[in-house]
Amino acid sequence: MSIFKTDIAVIGAGPQALTLVTHLLQKKKKMRDRLNAGLSPGFQVFDPSGTWLAQWHQQFAAQEIPHLRSPAVHHPDCNPHTLLTFADKRQDELYNPYNRPGTKLFQDFCETVIDRWHLRDQVTKAQVVGLTPQKEGFRLTLADGKTAIARRVVVATGAATAKMPDWTKQVSDYPPERLCHAQGVHLPALPTLTGETVLIIGGGLTSAHLTMGALKRGARVLLMGRRQFKEKIFDAEPGWLGPKYLKGFDTEPDWHKRWHMIQQARDGGSFTPEALTRLRKFSRESRLSLYEQCQVAKARWQGAHWQIQCDNPAVHDCFAHQPIDRIWLATGTQLDITAHPILGEVLAQYPLQIVNGLPVLDEHLRWPGCDLFLMGPWTALQVGPVARNLFGAKLACDRIVPALTKSSLARAA
């Protein structure tokens, strides 16, 4: 039995979904009027938490992230200046350069956005576990067995698959909490790590957050990266936010070349300048050991500790003689659209070109052949290297919202 019928179903209630909904309401007065009158606005948001930004807030809390990497003009509201206005009496929560907002400031601001657009009760607490294309629209199967019908669907969920180094497949018989991907590390649940040695693997900002958290709890930390540690203020150069770089990207017809442009622009993980400065300071104080151009070749759980061999002969002996209590992997996530948990039936009915795990969508970020739209990292081949970031959500809205609001851009039957 169907419990919902809606014109637009939005799957996910993170910052990408919130950005979409505010931009949709700005462009569609009829939706705003219905929402303000307490009627169904024509869209429904589905998320297991039942609230906006729950997973976003949990991730920031789990890694004790003090502030965003994005500047204050990047956020889910339509007007880029509203966060700076909101922060007028909280200037100490804006971090130089580029006024990057503190985590609490950003959270409080998003709450005002949710209330201003009357979105407090617009998230249905439900996990979508299946998406079935129908003659007109889609059937959404929910985890509790109920279903929903939607004419159009926007999937605004990120990449779920943790990227694990090859050597992890060779290890066994160890306590699971002693080898964790960053997604599974929850710093507030670890009151103390005094006397422990923690090996953190990764050269991105997540590894820096985990390092700070472990040091704060009294651990000795070994930070290992497969390349030289690099510093960049943002994930990708600011030129990727506008025509400076996107013009050439948009006119490149070869999807494989676009994929390589994305890899070059993001260039793996990087630290913000202030994060790398702090890491170097802790290294000089001998609380932290930095191992660059180094990877684990072999790991073995022996008794109550890890024994590690690395592939860099210059530091090989350093690891041979030190027992390691925990290993945390800040090695990122894997993008593979064919592994997406709810898109199997869509892929079967509407096969599409895939380049290194990323789908080739149309100019409105629509899945060719049906009214399914994607947001977030899945749109990188169209939106560019910042697709997964807050500004990437805005760029995605510039493409999706016209297709959802203008009948002239509706998919041809």
Rounded-to-integer distance, Cα 410 and Cα 137, Å: 13
Residue 69 contacts residue 274 (beta carbons within 8 Å)? no
Asked whether this chain's domains 2-159+335-409 and 163-232+270-332 adopt the same fold, the reply is yes
- Kindly list the distances between the CA atom of residue 410 and the CA atoms of 31, 366, 407, in Å, as whole numbers in the listed order: 18, 10, 5
Residue 387 contacts residue 377 (beta carbons within 8 Å)? yes
Rounded-to-integer distance, Cα 301 and Cα 325, Å: 10
For each of the chain's 413 residues, which pLDDT tens digit applies?
567 799 999 999 999 999 999 999 999 999 999 999 999 999 999 999 999 999 999 999 999 999 999 999 999 999 999 999 999 999 999 999 999 999 999 999 999 999 999 999 999 999 999 999 999 999 999 999 999 999 999 999 987 789 999 999 999 999 999 999 999 999 999 999 999 999 999 999 999 999 999 999 999 999 999 999 999 999 999 999 999 999 999 999 999 999 999 999 998 899 999 999 999 999 999 999 999 999 999 999 999 999 999 998 888 677 878 899 999 999 999 999 999 999 999 999 999 999 999 999 999 999 999 999 999 999 999 999 999 999 999 999 999 999 999 988 877 54
Rounded-to-integer distance, Cα 283 and Cα 291, Å: 10
What amino acid is encoded at 100 in this protein?
Answer: R
Q: Find where tokens 């203008």 sit.
A: 406
The alpha carbon torsion through 340, 341, 342, 346 (nearest 10 deg) reads: 50
| Peptide bond connecting 97 to the previous residue in cis, omega within 30 degrees of 0 | yes
Domain ranges of the chain: 2-159+335-409, 163-232+270-332
Rounded-to-integer distance, Cα 324 and Cα 272, Å: 27
Query: Residue 287 has what DSSP assignment?
Result: S
According to CATH, the topology of domain 163-232+270-332 is FAD/NAD(P)-binding domain (3.50.50)
According to CATH, the topology of domain 2-159+335-409 is FAD/NAD(P)-binding domain (3.50.50)
Rounded-to-integer distance, Cα 277 and Cα 162, Å: 28
Residue 135 contacts residue 354 (beta carbons within 8 Å)? no
- Kindly list the distances between the CA atom of residue 322 and the CA atoms of 178, 215, 296, in Å, as whole numbers in the listed order: 16, 18, 14
Q: Which helix (H) or strand (E) holds 11?
A: strand 2-11
Rounded-to-integer distance, Cα 250 and Cα 162, Å: 29
- In DSSP notation, 289-349 reads EEE-S--EEEEEEETTEEEEEES-TTTHHHHHT--BSEEEE---EE--GGG-TT-HHHHHH
Rounded-to-integer distance, Cα 349 and Cα 283, Å: 54
- In DSSP notation, 360-378 reads ---TTSBPTTSSEEE-GGG
